[in-house]
Structure 1
């Protein structure tokens, strides 16, 4: 213990202890970097982060721009708090590689209970160190955020508060299987490009993979054997109650009782936004706060307003200095950007364009759920449609198209708004659909991709900044017809019924799709905010494939997106006996 620890005192703002070894109860060793302030002390509160991304891996060039100049140092890491800033504010930073990643030996199993158990044990370790006041907070973006929910539910001694910043809370619904459809694009990208298995260094580009491990380096075959293949596990575990999701997704949010600040991003569709909102709703904390910003994935975390917000939160719960008003009611339980106007696509937080509004709850108590009907004329109308049945072909899948299946989108468009209104909350969609001309009846299914869009008074579509910095629709949704069963109580921690539908995704709830039969497909769109001004229109896109703004979150895998499963025509049925509508939460 301690033989490989190196002390780096080259920065005048902090002292870095690299590869501090932490022995766990089962004898395993976790390696961490510990950053100690040079002033104050001798004890400070502790901020912690953990990920499989490599505590020693420098920021890639494209990520450096997200971090302001005054926060950059050689120890600035991907999605993690910056020691050169936080140590000067009187905090110790601890950032560890979880078991089997980067410098921590062991078997790498991302999203595992083992990882969360390790993290909870390390929280108590940090609380007991001679340089610690015994009070610990958790922070970080994305993976560094999602694991905070699971650690907090374990209630480790010393944990006082958490800040999950753009982090999912339901791995299945938030990330890997939207609507039951496998998200292979992000799963593969994340596994191959972001995760850093232990002993990954020699012969590889330092800027991407970090230094060698003290024990030497493994071959590619050894590395493969020393970690789970996450994309394959997602493909082979189709249902939310399969063993893989039981292991990595089980969390009793009612046991999260420490103060929390959950920060989401309206542009974080497909990966993070839903988790920040639902995690906040599910948590049992007396003091919990929801903030929803705009802009790219990581830049808002490091912005001056966000840093000041986080500092006041941690100062309150870790130092007892509540100048920010977290205990007194000065801080609203909910605050978010209202997306009004068209600021264009930007790589930064659009604070100058979108004003923030404080609220007391989520969903907003004054919400009116307005049903807008789809018509065979590709309209969105408040009136119910009467008349005979019409069929509108949505897709024809062809196996020889390697990336995307064929089939054109259908855009159901509203009339121009006669007066301004605001959509704020959880929309949903109902479709009456059938499958015809399917080549293999025994394996039939229907995949539906949905996008809510906005057009200005001149008819030009208004795009918003995704977390990747690319153009994005207002919000998205998905449903696989065989997964159409709804869950009456998807989240036991939330009292009462949800105002939007949530698919069950349980193995026993799967329902076969038979060609020629008509099915009602009711599903949620991800939560959103949108101000619609006079003369503007909205539209609902229905598509058989990934919408244009899917980014890395594509679903083009051969096993689940095949001709044998999805070939044929998808049809939407219209008439007085069929239900086709969009539900909008209007405030």
Structure 2
């Protein structure tokens, strides 16, 4: 119920607005207000294909949640029926529509979205809610595993009411059944969250302890709500959420990702993979925090029993006062992927960045090699066509690569950094893309499947679609050369942050030093396997969805030349950790 397009400003800065689907749109999944309280009996199923509730559950539907400015949000509350004590509340703060109670979770557009055919139809799902049908194989989560009452990227009420928790699915401001204009993260959404936390805590069934939980946007919102410090917020569980919109998604490295963000504007989808959770862990200024990096895609991980058990232990401690040994849990647990071999799960560490990290410098050298000994005498240059078309399907041409072979088992855990000396005779700027790939002993470039094959319902890697949610190919970095100035306040010894408030154009042909941060990874290499470092003028990761293939266009022109050796000590700094 957001307003139509108009002029809206904050601090004198005009804020763009756009219409959402009207409530009478046939695909909007809007079925009107229906405030009611219903008891779902033990074993209740939304339909025969779905998971049943393990305990009798009260479903309070379209509960009014008042905001300080008079706007009313609406929530669905699922709480255990046959309990004598008050229970904690788990709030899922969502822009996707609460509780899966509409007609269809975008199944009518999923096939078109994934095939790329007529994807303008996807815009109809904006006022409704998204679902796992967006991804082939539902990321390994069959319908029978969930009740269908869960919000997208949120906990399943059928699971958590059985553990003695209430699940509160909130339509954020301007979404579905909530009044007002939709907020795009930030302090305003944080204030809304504060009001919701305090209201839910005051309800007669709540024990006064509220937690926030969810993935992606549902995690991002938690940073802003927690920053407002609502008194009854006991803990947060931001499971995969970016924390710097500009640097991590909208304009990474200063290069606008326009196709993806036009897609978001038109269709209401949001990023799948971010570095924000790590940054959030580092920057939270106290020690009651834990970081777990898991080996499968985030939606898949959310509903695994191992994950549920872990979250329950945490929540029991902070919202129910159960004296378990949660606080003895290692502060950092890292799962190391091996590229389609079983991962090494939950390697414990005391903090992040990992104290045992050994930063190793590998110099770009002749013969397309990376060497751990620098030679000033060995100089060279290589070039690629920077404006060649790219489809983001892992076989695009026009890149240069350098390879390092491991003499013994080695493990990368953490971010990396590329320092490159580059020039372009045809333009005054360069958009540079880098990636670290893993190759086997024979030099074959590998991909990591993010979901076990049997859970996807396939038998071979070749059957898995080449999209970013299903395949991970390696950590990447991006930088627009004119944005090369670093931000000394945000940069850390192990992580680069660029300023992005000044533009330093480059005279054509001038050689410039570029420092490019590469996102964190946890990858194991066996003896004889290879690290392959690639540089290109186009994005080398897989597209998020098939309609985005070939849509990422840069500002590049002509050839880019990479210089190494002598006074141009182009190199890669990699974080190795002995395990």
Structure-2-length-normalised TM-score:
0.78
User: Which whole-Å CA distance do the structure 2 matches of 1:42 and 1:290 have between them?
Assistant: 32
User: Which whole-Å CA distance do the structure 2 matches of 1:408 and 1:514 have between them?
Assistant: 23
Alignment of 1:460 onto 2:444: yes
1:546 maps to 539
1:149 maps to 223
2:471 maps to 471
CA contact (8 A) 1:373 1:582 kept: yes
2:58 maps to 15
User: Which whole-Å CA distance do the structure 2 matches of 1:573 and 1:511 have between them?
Assistant: 20
2:484 maps to 484
User: Which whole-Å CA distance do the structure 2 matches of 1:577 and 1:555 have between them?
Assistant: 39
- Which consecutive unaligned segments of at least 5 residues does structure 1 have? 196-229, 231-269, 345-351, 439-443, 492-496
Name which of structure 1's ranges 11-20 and 536-545 shifts more when overlaid on structure 2: 11-20
Q: 1:402 to 1:278 in 2, by over 3 A?
A: closer
RMSD: 2.7
CA contact (8 A) 2:92 2:151 kept: no
Secondary structure of the residue aligned to 2:298 is coil
Q: 1:573 to 1:478 in 2, by over 3 A?
A: same
Q: 1:303 to 1:3 in 2, by over 3 A?
A: closer
CA contact (8 A) 1:292 1:336 kept: yes
Deviation (angstroms), 1:111 = 2.1
Summarize deviations over 1:284-314 as a string: whole Å, max 9, x none: 2331100000112301111000000001110
User: Which whole-Å CA distance do the structure 1 matches of 2:477 and 2:287 have between them?
Assistant: 32
1:293 maps to 294
Partner of residue 100 from structure 1, selected from 174, 184, 187: 174
Deviation (angstroms), 1:361 = 1.2
Residues 175-254 of structure 1 mapped to structure 2, 5 A cutoff: 175-194=249-268
Secondary structure of the residue aligned to 1:526 is strand
Deviation (angstroms), 1:498 = 2.7
Secondary structure of the residue aligned to 2:519 is coil
Alignment of 1:431 onto 2:461: no
2:22 maps to none
Summarize deviations over 1:527-578 as a string: whole Å, max 9, x none: 11122211111110101101152434969768x72xxx42122111233111
Alignment of 1:159 onto 2:233: yes
CA contact (8 A) 1:54 1:101 kept: yes
- Which consecutive unaligned segments of at least 5 residues does structure 2 have? 1-31, 43-55, 106-130, 452-467
Secondary structure of the residue aligned to 2:290 is strand
Deviation (angstroms), 1:449 = 0.8
> Which contiguous aligned blocks of 4+ residues in structure 1 show a shift greater than 6 angstroms?
553-558
Alignment of 1:172 onto 2:261: no
Deviation (angstroms), 1:183 = 1.9
User: Which whole-Å CA distance do the structure 2 matches of 1:3 and 1:435 have between them?
Assistant: 60
Alignment of 1:420 onto 2:418: no
CA contact (8 A) 1:546 1:555 kept: no
Deviation (angstroms), 1:8 = 3.3
Secondary structure of the residue aligned to 1:299 is helix
| Count of residues paired in the alignment | 483
CA contact (8 A) 2:432 2:478 kept: yes
Q: 1:141 to 1:123 in 2, by over 3 A?
A: same
Deviation (angstroms), 1:274 = 1.3
User: Which whole-Å CA distance do the structure 1 matches of 2:574 and 2:211 have between them?
Assistant: 38
2:95 maps to 52
Summarize deviations over 1:178-226 as a string: whole Å, max 9, x none: 111112343233333336xxxxxxxxxxxxxxxxxxxxxxxxxxxxxxx
2:332 maps to 334
CA contact (8 A) 2:139 2:297 kept: no
CA contact (8 A) 1:395 1:407 kept: no
Q: 1:356 to 1:281 in 2, by over 3 A?
A: same
Secondary structure of the residue aligned to 1:527 is strand
CA contact (8 A) 1:137 1:161 kept: yes
Secondary structure of the residue aligned to 1:410 is strand
Q: 1:10 to 1:319 in 2, by over 3 A?
A: closer
Partner of residue 559 from structure 2, selected from 545, 556, 569: 569
Partner of residue 530 from structure 1, selected from 523, 527, 536: 523
Residues 75-86 of structure 1 mapped to structure 2, 5 A cutoff: 75-86=149-160
Residues 300-449 of structure 1 mapped to structure 2, 5 A cutoff: 300-323=301-324, 325-327=325-327, 329=328, 331-340=329-338, 342-343=339-340, 352-387=342-377, 390-397=380-387, 408-414=398-404, 416-438=405-427, 444-449=428-433
CA contact (8 A) 1:396 1:407 kept: no
CA contact (8 A) 1:371 1:582 kept: yes
User: Which whole-Å CA distance do the structure 1 matches of 2:560 and 2:33 have between them?
Assistant: 64
1:502 maps to 497
